[in-house]
Amino acid sequence: MTQRPLEIRAQNRIDAFIHKFKHVLNLLSISHKYHFESLETWAKELIFYHCTTNADGKNPVLDSPRIRDRDLELMLRVSTRINCYTFSGAAENALMNRLKGRFDRDFFIRNLALAEELGIRKFQGRLYYNELLRQESLQTGIQLSTTSIYSDLTEKQLFALFRGYWSLTCYWKNLPSLVRNKPLPSIAACAAHGRCQTLWNDKWSADNLRLIVDPSPPLPLEKLEKIRPLLISPRDVSLGFGVKIQPCGLRELDEITKQLQGTLADHFLGPGR
């Protein structure tokens, strides 16, 4: 805080910002607490400039190994306290990217506790889901006989994990019939929507799901992604209506995926207030 904002802003390069990342976070926290509005605005603008994530949730600054895990957790804590949800979302994405990229049990437990402390349901849902996915990839499954694996979870956390697994299993069991019974929304570019609806229903048929989708992906989001290439298969184009059909099904698949991602926490924690 001994430097003027304009002097610090001259270090607007990524490498300089990474070096000062924790200091900028602390400046944001202090300036917010003591109502130093110009400093708070400057700190927010600098963080926004460097830390906005792209469409796939990645950011070269926040994903840099030079940014410590603890500093990302500090970013999440500070941004939540000052109700800056753009920054908290970026911090969540960066923490999830790190969790997916390595096995670090302490890192998972610490972030789950932080998400609980800050009351961030969405982050809790993402953490629990990733834990289920990790256990499935190890072919452990979620069974009563494997509870010793989760000895580092509290009773409440263990209950949430089991409830989420049960809820997501029920979700996938019921989803195909719900999709088939709901008319596929048409888009303006679709000139043969009847055939489009038929193909969509075929991709969600019980036989197709049993043979192509269900055998390998363990959880619903991964199963949904396995359906995606079926909607853009060259086989469909050869039938003469693939190009015009693809956007309808892909858009609806995106909506289903987005809705599930937005409600993951409900599966593990129950409905929000």
pTM, two decimal places: 0.88
Q: Where does a domain end: 76, 102, 128?
A: 102
**pLDDT tens digit string along 140-187?**
555 544 556 778 999 999 999 999 999 999 999 999 999 988 999 988
Range of the domain at 73: 1-102
**Cβ neighbours of residue 235 closer than 8 Å, sequence gap 6 or more:** 242
Average model confidence (pLDDT) across the chain: 85
142 lies in a domain? no
Q: Count of domains in the chain?
A: 2
Residues 98 and 3 in one domain: yes
pLDDT for the residue 214: 67
Residues 96 and 174 in one domain: no
For residue 26, CA distances in Å to 47, 65, 155 come to 12, 20, 34
**Residue written as tokens 């991709």?**
203
pLDDT for the residue 143: 55
Q: Where does a domain end: 67, 102, 137?
A: 102
156 lies in a domain? no
pLDDT for the residue 237: 46
116 lies in a domain? no
**pLDDT tens digit string along 204-254?**
988 888 877 766 667 999 999 988 888 775 554 444 444 434 678 888 999
Please compute the mean of the pLDDT values over residues 251-272 and round it to a whole number: 95
143 lies in a domain? no
135 lies in a domain? no
160 lies in a domain? no
- Whether the CA torsion 84, 62, 129, 230 is positive or negative: it is positive
158 lies in a domain? no
Q: Where does a domain end: 58, 77, 102?
A: 102
